[in-house]
Each structure stands twice: as structure tokens, then as C-alpha cells.
Structure 1
């Protein structure tokens, strides 16, 4: 089975991971930071599936990838609920302007 070489997949995964880290570190809007975290999760999923391609009898890579997707979905739901509540309290989603826990 010919396909995309592993090196190309790993380079794409490294780019996704780097963009996710860049978004988490440099951006101050809460939703953009959450999108950066999702990019990091997707880079990890891409690595898991790419490496599991070399062991077709065992499905650990696909199972771990499914688990990461479930955790990412739960994280996104909880994090967006928190962001909405913080926006209701502080009228901003800018992380620099939210410097205390209560109003």
C-alpha cells in the first residue's frame, strides 16, 4: 500500500503543533487560545494515526486517537461554557483584562 511518506505526515504534524503553541502563547482572546489547544490535539492525533499505519494488526493508534478526540470534545464543551460565563461576568473575552476571579 503506497501512500504519503511518514516524513511528510510528521512535518505536517509538527507544523500543526507549532501553530497551536504559537496561538496559545501569543493570542489573548480566549476562543483563539482554545483553537490553539485543538490544533495541538489534532497534531497528536495525526502522529498516532500515522504511526499506527505501520502496525496494521494492532489498533492502538486509532484507539488512542479516538480517546483524544473524545477528550478534546469534552474539553471544548467545558471550556466554551467557562468562556461564556466569564464573558457574562466581565464583558470581555480578552485574557489580559481578566485578572481576578470575582467581580
Structure 2
């Protein structure tokens, strides 16, 4: 359990806004190397891990490593934060986050 929490903490501490996922992806690959037979990254930055290459059936799990990135640009007299986006994402999705 502590190892799982440690991985989660490292992943959450690694910045990974859209377009700048390199550090978060590196944390994921380092963890995957502890259990996967093969871990690699392609020229586009996508990460892959193969657990049992000869096994059957073949199962693929896919997910996103990026997160919505915000940068505080101003704090007003009432303590309200003004932010600007980091990376590419639709501002409408922020409400659901």
C-alpha cells in the first residue's frame, strides 16, 4: 500500500499540463518498469508498457497523462485568483474539474 501511495504522490507532484507531460510520463514509466517486461516511449511522447508479451488474450489499457494547467497571474484585494491557461485545452472543461 505504501508503494502505491508513494507512486501516486510522485505522479501528482510531477507537473503535466497539456503539451508539457514529459515529467509526469517519466514518473509513470519508472513505476511501470517495476512490473512490466517492456517499457518504452515513442517519438510523439506516448508511453507503452507490456506486462506479458506472450500472454493471451491481449488487453490494452489507455489513458491520458496530462492535466489542466493554470498559472496564477493576479490576486486581487479580496483574495480572488486570476489565472491563465498553460497548454492546450478548452476552458469550458475547467468547470467539471
Q: Please, what TM-score do these two structures have when normalized by structure 1?
A: 0.31
**Per residue, is there more strand in 1 or in 2?**
2
